[in-house]
Amino acid sequence: MKKLILALAFVPALVFASEGGYRLDHAPIVPTDQLSLQAGAKTFVNYCLNCHGAQFMRYNRLTDLGLTEAQIRDNLVLTDAKVGDTMKVALTAKDGKAMFGAAPPDLTVVGRSRGADWLYTYLRTFYRDEKSPTGWNNAAFPSVAMPHVLWTMQGERSLQVVEDEEHHGAAEYKWTQLTPGTQNEVQYDTTVRDLVNFLVYMGEPSAVNRKRLGVVALFFLGILFIFAYALKKEYWKDVH
């Protein structure tokens, strides 16, 4: 019995540890906010597309975000790609692997595979680590091969993990700001929120429209039901 209680006491700690041990923050994204999506797209093409592609996403699909093709061409196509092209990356998987030890994966559907909360946490929890080849490590993705590409905005931080004996190894995380970034914490959270909003949109570009259509369809079904019911009453009124 004692063993069982002991085992049960460890269950939460194990569940906790399974996701790299770091508690995920809730991503406050609003999928219908077009300004947020536009800001996220801008950050994505400037800071992510050098290493990661989004090969299932075409630039001109971004008219979804309330932009014209001319605006997309002028602001979001930073390579010699045409506005009808997919978001390809010049870096090959092989070069990426040679450079970083792991190939940067395509990010078109990462919003679905990792989820918004994970992405929001991941992009905000890089810290300086001298032992890592890039000089960076990450609380949500320990020993990650990706450097902190947004560090000029967030500044450099260090992380100290304090094991908590009383709570069976559940750790306490202590962040220290080493150098300031160009953005304060609130601004940086907003930058990442917009970027994650965009990553989630890419994973399912029609999600907002699909949900809107669903509501319209249900509305019409409701109307149809009223007519069908009235008709049924009309047909049966002489039978009884």
Residue in 149, 153, 159, 208 binding ligand HEC, rule: CB under 6 A: 149
Residue in 16, 21, 50, 55 binding ligand HEC, rule: CB under 6 A: 50
Q: What's the burial of 179, exposed, middle or buried (CB within 10 Å: 0-12/13-18/19+)?
A: exposed
**H-helix segments, 78-206:** 93-100, 110-114, 116-122, 151-154, 185-203
Q: Does 37 bind ligand HEC (CB under 6 A)?
A: no
What's the closest the beta carbon of residue 68 comes to ligand HEC, in angstroms? 25
Q: Does 144 bind ligand HEC (CB under 6 A)?
A: yes
- Give 59-90 as a 3 state SS string: HHHHHHHCCCHHHHHHHCCCCCCCCCCEECCC
Number of residues that bind ligand HEC (CB under 6 A): 24
30 Cβ neighbours under 8 A, 6+ residues apart: 36, 197
Q: How far apart are CA 200 and CA 36, in angstroms?
A: 12
Q: Does 52 bind ligand HEC (CB under 6 A)?
A: yes
In the numeric block, the tokens 């929001």 are attached to: 120
Candidates 10-18, 50-58, 64-72, 218-226: pick the segment binding ligand HEC (CB under 6 A).
50-58
Q: Does 217 bind ligand HEC (CB under 6 A)?
A: no
Closer of 52 and 157 to ligand HEC (Cβ): 52
What's the closest the beta carbon of residue 101 comes to ligand HEC, in angstroms? 7
Q: Does 124 bind ligand HEC (CB under 6 A)?
A: no
Q: What's the burial of 195, exposed, middle or buried (CB within 10 Å: 0-12/13-18/19+)?
A: buried
User: By three-state DSSP, how is residue 179 classified?
Assistant: strand
Q: Does 147 bind ligand HEC (CB under 6 A)?
A: yes
Q: Specify the DSSP element, H or E, that contains 133.
A: none
What's the closest the beta carbon of residue 141 comes to ligand HEC, in angstroms? 6
Which residues within the stretch 192-211 sit at the binding site for ligand HEC (CB under 6 A)?
A: 195
Helix-helix angle 185-203:34-47, to 10 degrees:
90
Residue in 45, 57, 72, 150 binding ligand HEC, rule: CB under 6 A: 150
Residue in 146, 159, 207, 208 binding ligand HEC, rule: CB under 6 A: 146
Residue 115, phi-psi category: left (phi > 0), alpha (psi -120 to 50), beta (remainder): left
Which residues contact ligand HEC by CB under 6 A?
A: 47-48, 50-52, 96, 100, 102, 104-105, 107, 110, 113-114, 119, 122-123, 144-147, 149-150, 195
